[in-house]
Structures are given as C-alpha cells and as structure tokens.
Amino acid sequence: MSPRLAIDHPIYRTRFIETPAALCGGIFQPMRRCLTSLAVLAAAAMGGACWSGGDRDRPTSGSGGSGPSQPPVGIVTTCAGTEAPLPALADLPNIGELPDPFLSLDGTRITRADQWACRRVEIAAQAETYELGAKPAKPGSVTGAFDAGKITVTASEGGKTVSFAATITPPAGGTPPYPAMIGIGGISIGGTQLADMGVATISFPNDTVAQQTNSSSRGRGVFYDLYGSDHTAGALIAWAWGVSRLIDALEQTPAAQIDPTRLGVTGCSRNGKGALIVGAFDDRIALTIPQESGSGGSASWRVSDAQYESGTVVQTLFEIVTENVWFTRSFSLFGYAAKQLPFDHHTLEGLVAPRALLIIENTSQVWLGNMSTYNNSMAAHTIWEALGMPDKMGVSQIGDHAHCVWNGSQQAEVTAYVQKFLIGGGTGNTSVLRTDGGYTFDKAKWAPWDVPAL
C-alpha cells in the first residue's frame, strides 16, 4: 500500500466487526434501555446468532487478561504494531478529562514526531468506529471532466456509477494553476478577499453527496447510491469521501486550472463540522478552516456537557444525535455516555496535524458551546506544540457578528493562514490564540497530561 493511501485513509489497518451495538443506533433510546437491549442481543450473539466467521472467536485482552464482557466493535493496529480491540460501549471506561492524545492504545506514550502518524491511525479508527462511520477507500475508478466552470466527478465501484459536479470560480488575478479553497456548501470566510489573494473557490455540493435535511434523510445521496443506504457512514464522513474524490478528479483534470497540492477547506456551522472532518481525513488538504462549527466540530462533547450542567444551554451529544444524520447510527448510544468515548474533538482536530488548522468561532453563539470550543481547541493546540510547530494551529473566537456572517474582524487571521499555508511564502502572524469571551483554558481540569517534545 502506498504512503499516500495510508495517509488519505488512516482506517486502512482497522477491521470493523458487526456487533449488537450497531443495532441500537437507528432511533435514539435512553441509555439504560439500550444497554438492556444490548445485553439481550449480546447473549443471543454468543449463542451463535449473528457473528461471522473469523472474528467470532478472536481472543481479546482486557484488564487482568479476562477480556471484554462484550465482543469488540473493531480492531486496530497500534503504534507498537500489535492489534488492539476497540471495545463495545459497556467495556469503555469513564474518562472525565479529555483523553490524552499522546497515549497510544498499547498503553505507552509516544515520544517521537514520527509516531504521530500511527497515533492518527488509532484516533481515526476510534472516530470512524464510534462516531462517524467508515470512510471507504478510493473506488476502482474516479474521473473528472471540466466544462463551463464546473468539474464533474464520476466514481465507479462494484458495477455502480455515480457523479456530482462542483462549481469552480477562478480569481480575477494570479497565475494558474491556482491554489483553491473548497467550501462545504459554500464559503463564508470572505470570498472576495480570497479572490483578491489569487485563490480560486470551489463549491462542494455536500447535500448532493449526502443529504442532511433532518433525522429522516439518512442514507440519501450519491454516496449511498454507490455504497448502499445502510452504510455506516454518517453525512460528515460521506462528505469527506466526496471531497477526496473531488481531489482525485482535480489531480487528473488540468483544464480546471487548480493546483491540487495547494487546497484548503472551509465551511460554516453544520458545514464547518464537515470541513473539520474533511481536513482530518485527507492529507492533501493543506489548510483547514472550520467556521462556527460548535458541537460535532470544534467543541468537545465532554466540555459541552459540563457547560450545560453548569446552567448554560449549549448543544450536547444527547441533543445532536436526534437532530440530523451527521454521525453513524450507533453514535446515539453515547447520548448519556460522552465520558466513555475514548477520544474527543481535540483529537479530531489533532488529526489535521502536522498540517495547518485555523479554528474560527463566535462567542455570541452560545448554542455552539463557546466555552467548550475554546477549551477543546486549546487542548488540541498542545499537539502542534508537541510537534514543534505551534504557529500552524490557531484559534480565533470573536463574538461581534451573527452566525456565519463575515464582517472582517477575523480577516487578519484568515489572510495570514491562507498566505502562509495555502498560497505559500506568507509572513503574517499565525500564532493566534484569542477569545473575546474572557475564557481561560483550564488545562489542569481538561488536559492534565504532560505535553511531550516530540
């Protein structure tokens, strides 16, 4: 397997196992009731009801060598090169703080920068298994055709073919092939300013790839036409698959006049959640700028729960799994159990490292989890600190505007990141960690782990 494939699809060393946990996710249930259902289904499974050959009798190791009480939901190769189970919910421990991003699944902490690549594989496997669903590898055939300002992406696999089109808007100046910013559903971070810098924009039709109308739109869109309406992927990871196919097409379509080595991604609100997942799961994205993405984006499930419990009404995991189809079905099991997730969104942001990430947030949008997004992103920043490149990850949280309305108060940060990490050669200040909300990063509470020098 080529290094590019291993990077673009970090799940490639993970195997998913069909378990009763996957059967509880269609409609959100109170946790106690769902766990009761799981116990009944697990007992039936142990009797041979639904386990497929090979994985059914796989020995597993747990604390004390006794093994998990339920079969694992997946298996991943660790940084030590050994196989580790991804436990079912009932066997996941409560972790009150944000999980240590530097602690490998083999129980050792990474100590070298080159080990971050294997930690990314582990974190990506956890995220796909528990929250997002699986991102399929590149199909057998992906082609691109450019005409009248649009690139049509066609993908074929297993006798099925699907296509979608993305609109490309070149800048007035500059020299092709242009660097480009891909907008999930559009761009809200100053399209005119991007064009003035010589950056093209590409509007990615995420609703065509995977619908997100409401909780009844699961399994609709060209992604599911290709892979089936019952595929584990929620809309966010389906969009990430679609952007990867868009990049595949750009790489082989010079008529589009886009430089595929200088690509960024952005999006606002729900589309900002998608932008983060796109950047996390494809290393060909040089710069990721999620804007006001909140819960499921730059907020932490754990910190949002704490903010809610303190009396501030913010969106939590419990609420979001009932709202739409952004996540895999079985993620609803964690509605009352965010502390049992073995990862959180600081590590999802960390999947972008060592590439560039700029978090754009809005303190006025309380529902997004303003304190949560700040603490989560500050915790994520320690990953870039450990890698010796803190100026490649920034946080800007300003609350002087309505949701997804760009008034220019954060333009300096965007311009500096675009010029330095997307266009190349920029010298602006990218060491930006600011909020106008008066928040203090509570590292002792949320990130008590040591930050190594990798």
Q: Beta-carbon neighbour count of residue 115 at 10 Å?
A: 17
d(CA 314, CA 158): 43
In sign, the C-alpha dihedral spanning 9, 13, 15, 21 is: negative
C-alpha atoms less than 13 angstroms from C-alpha of 73 in its C-beta half-sphere: 24
Position 44: which residue type?
A: A
- Residues forming beta bridges with residue 182, ordered by sequence position: 202, 265
d(CA 203, CA 181): 9
The pairing of strands 285-291 and 258-268 is parallel
d(CA 284, CA 341): 28
Burial environment of residue 53 by CB neighbours within 10 A (0 to 12, 13 to 18, 19 or more): exposed
d(CA 46, CA 67): 14
> Which distant-in-sequence residues (6+ apart) come within 8 Å of 341 by Cβ?
92, 95, 99, 126, 130, 131, 301, 302, 334
d(CA 296, CA 290): 11
d(CA 246, CA 241): 9
The pairing of strands 258-268 and 178-184 is parallel
Catalytic residue set: 269, 403
> Which of these, 344, 349, 207, lies nearest to 279 by C-alpha position?
349
